[in-house]
Amino acid sequence: MKNLAVLSKGLSLKNKDYNIASGNHVSPSGPFRVMIGKEIADHIRSWRFIVLLLLIGLTFFGAMHISLSNIKTAVSNIQDPDRLFLYLKLLTTTDGTLPPFHVLLSFLGPLLGISLGFDTINSEQNAGTLTRLMAQPVYRDNLILSKFVSAMIIVSCLFVSLALLMIGAGLLITGVDIAPQEVLRIFSFIFLSIVYVGFWLSLSILLSIRFKQTATSALTAIGLWLFLTVFYKLLVNLVIKAMIPDPAFLSQEQVFAYNGLMGSILRLEPSQLYTDATTTLLMPSVRSLGPLTVEQMALAIPSPLPFKESLMIIWPQLSGLLAATVFCFALSYYLFMRREIRC
């Protein structure tokens, strides 16, 4: 981005003059903060972010309207062990016309991450600003770090604002105080959503380093999203059904083992990890994410779990999303630091 290069150049000249006059060393955090601020400003002013912000906002308000319209029926259902968690019901209640917000976010989150990262590096190189920026006395890793950190700050502010807006609307409309466990579960859901978007952001940054054209990196990222979200589950089901024999000839233990194997393979896909974790957080009565035997279901008491127990259930899913995000960004960092930048 031209403004980023000019701004960093001016900052470096000012720091250089100050360094000569005072004999002090220039702090590397100064240009890094400026680069983050400029990246945030560029994202906020871009039309693609405005369009995605309106899309997420419309789905949020639509889902909240449906939830508030059906909240009385949801909390009066004595058969539901989660009926007392009013604010969690605002995120999960639906009448079938529109999916709950956490389900919609599993589809819109990847689009938000891809839109913020698919042209982070290749657009700078195609515009000719990357060479001029790297000619300034700034660290190379500050550039890619500022791209990632600025996008994560925007995503975090967006999701936290939506959560606070939902809590405030619930307090004003229902007049019911929110329980501390609900606060922990809601903000854990927000943190999980930020990590989920961060994975797609780091993946799109990786593609922007790998491909020179922004259209190629965008199409590749969208193609990977469609494959992992839609076609991966279909492919796994076809392969598993072709490999296992007829379930009528299998014992209960064998069926249980095959179901566990299918669940483990499906959890290699990020959206499945996100769906499992959010379902457990927003529905405290969920006691397991794997197959249960008839004896386990008969002995289970339909009651909500404490927050600590739900967190222990989703810990593998959260660790998987964090590991995938760190791996993609680390690979992006490695490729960018070893990349030869030419005019």
Q: DSSP assignment of 104-118, as one string?
A: HHHHHHHHHHHHHHT
The answer, yes or no, to whether residue 19 has pLDDT greater than 60, is no
Model confidence pLDDT, tens digit, residues 3-14: 444 444 444 444
The answer, yes or no, to whether residue 111 has pLDDT greater than 80, is yes
The mean pLDDT of 51-65, rounded to a whole number, is: 88
The mean pLDDT of 238-243, rounded to a whole number, is: 79
The answer, yes or no, to whether residue 340 has pLDDT greater than 90, is no
Task: Output the pTM of the full model.
Answer: 0.85
Write out the two tokens for 32. 């890094």
- Evaluate whether 179 touches 305 at the Cβ level (below 8 Å): no
What is the rounded CA–CA span in Å between residue 11 and residue 2? 14
Say which residues have a Cβ less than 8 Å from residue 77's Cβ, sequence separation at least 6: 83
- Please give the share of the chain, as a percent, with pLDDT higher than 90: 27
Q: For every residue of 155-213, which 3-state class applies, written as one string? A: HHHHHHHHHHHHHHHHHHHHCCCCCHHHHHHHHHHHHHHHHHHHHHHHHHHHHHHHCCC
**Average pLDDT value over all residues in the chain:** 82
Looking at residue 13, what is its pLDDT? 43
Asked whether the CA dihedral 108, 113, 116, 122 is positive or negative, the reply is negative
Looking at residue 200, what is its pLDDT? 95
Rounded (to 5) percent helix, strand, coil in the chain: 80, 0, 20
- Evaluate whether 163 touches 50 at the Cβ level (below 8 Å): no
The answer, yes or no, to whether residue 303 has pLDDT greater than 80, is no
Write out the two tokens for 118. 């698919």
The answer, yes or no, to whether residue 165 has pLDDT greater than 80, is yes
Instruction: List the single range of 54-63, 244-253, 310-319, 326-335 with lowest mean pLDDT.
Output: 244-253
To the nearest 10°, the Cα dihedral for 150, 156, 162, 165?
Answer: -100
Q: Which residue has the higher pLDDT, 194 or 238?
A: 194
Write out the two tokens for 151. 């996008």
What is the rounded CA–CA span in Å between residue 176 and residue 198? 33
**Taking the CA of residue 223 as centre, how many other CA atoms within 13 Å lie in the half-sphere pointing to its CB?**
7
Q: How far lies 135's CA from each of 8, 273, 278, in Å?
A: 10, 42, 45
The answer, yes or no, to whether residue 171 has pLDDT greater than 90, is no
